[in-house]
Amino acid sequence: MNKNLGITSLLLLAGCSTYPPGADSEGQRMLAAATPVLDAIAKYMDDTARPPKSLNVLVPKYLPSIPDTPKIDLNLKENVLTFKYIQSASHHNEVICTAFMGETEWSCDIPISR
């Protein structure tokens, strides 16, 4: 009986598992759509030796189009790109993904509430 209770407990806990920011299915979908933008920026910077003044200058030479989802914000003052999404897991956490200009990978985190 204790053995069955242990197995049942493990199965219940497995169903409650959470994913790190960016690793859930919604995060993976968003990262797949957003990462080509980082690659395009890196190629643009290799060609021009400067960051783009907007994402629109990447189209069509470096990128066929800017993705609608996720909506990527470019902060020229800080040379950082960001996008937000809500985790698809049961916790529905807001996740913010960031990358500095010229990087080719996103870093995703759940903001700390104050």
Whether 114 maps to a domain, the answer reads: no
Tens digit of each residue's pLDDT, the chain (114 residues): 455 544 444 333 444 457 788 888 899 999 999 999 999 999 999 999 999 999 999 999 999 999 999 999 999 999 999 999 998 766 688 999 999 999 999 999 998 865
pLDDT at 6: 46
Nearest of 35, 75, 86, 31 to residue 43 by alpha carbon = 35
Residue 62 counted as domain residue: yes
Residue 1 lies in a domain: no
Instruction: At 7, list the tokens.
Output: 């197995």
85 exposure class (CB count in 10 Å sphere: 0-12, 13-18, 19+): buried
pLDDT, position 22: 80
Domain encompassing residue 52: 20-109
- Burial category of 89 from C-beta neighbours within 10 Å (exposed 0-12, middle 13-18, buried 19 and up): middle
Return the number of other C-beta atoms located less than 10 Å from residue 59's C-beta.
Answer: 13
**pTM of the predicted protein model:** 0.79
Q: Quote the number of domains for the chain.
A: 1
